[in-house]
Structure 1
């Protein structure tokens, strides 16, 4: 009974936030998750399909974060290897992002339209750094993000309920592994910078 009341209260709070007229204060990632959960609830979709939708939302948010951080690195990085890596990432993530958007449209999955609050904080925090500190923190953040990506895409390439989503994850898993390997190499180059 208590659990049901907590869930109902949480749902009402989310609904109030999602229906709030002031869209500038809404978190795009949370909003996308809420819209997908609402559709999933209305259509009586299985937990596996819900997991697929969550993967799509998280992948879109993570991709936008990596893209924003890499655009920032193209401007602020002082190490040529970091700038080159960031440029490569911007180009290759654009292709993956377009594929993700196309698949989400086909599956009627709502994706975030901007960075979530925590993600925006990461961009701001990194933007406040300069020189070697920026290069090191950018590479650390990108390596960590790609480790998460590889785990997530690896899981979904095997476990996604929807075959198209499984195929998408399998298609981009080798690309993400390559990004991670390159990122770790560049990270090794900058770790001793002062």
Structure 2
């Protein structure tokens, strides 16, 4: 294989594994989170990857490549997410999936757009980049100062509510 072909195969493998990771993490978010912003991001990621994974499977098949497994760090993040709940889950999901994974993907897609030689793969990359950027923006909004203030306000109310209900018990 030429260096260009190796780079292309590496990118396709990474994109497929990352898509798989984001879908699995998003399914966890839909099952575990009550936060509307987290759930909206999870739904958007699942929808985005639904078509992408089929297209990537076609690209992989055309190169006699199998669908890749998750990277070790992705598996560890999923395992950690599975142990968390509530606000801790939401924070970890938004940080690991909504920020880190999407930022890494955008960097990889931008690099691929500039360097890949196959026009079909490059066109696919350029088609997917806008959705990645929109999802990153949604994740940043969900973790921004306003979201943090809302979470703190909610956290401040909960203990008061639970103390009131405890003091009213016979």
1:120 correspondence with 2:105 = no
Number of corresponding residues: 149
Matched with 2:36 is 80
**After the TM superposition, which parts of structure 1 deviate over 4 Å for at least 4 consecutive aligned residues?**
none
Contact 1:70 1:90 in 2 (8 A): yes
Please name the residue that 1:134 is paired with.
89
* 5+ residue gaps, structure 2: 156-170
How many Å separate the matches in 1 of 2:143 and 2:108?
22
Q: Gapped runs of 5+ residues in structure 1?
A: 1-44
What TM-score results when the alignment is normalised by the length of structure 2? 0.81
What are the Cα deviations for residues 75-99 of structure 1, in whole angstroms up to 9, with x where unaligned?
1112122112211211111111111
Greater Rg by CA: 2
| TM-score normalised over the length of structure 1 | 0.72
Note the C-alpha offset of 1:64. Answer: 0.8
For residue 131 of structure 2, what is the aligned residue in structure 1? 175
Q: Does 1:53 align with 2:5?
A: no
8 Å Cα contact 2:113-2:125 kept in structure 1: yes
Per the TM alignment, residue 118 of structure 1 is displaced from its structure 2 partner at its CA by 2.6
RMSD: 1.5
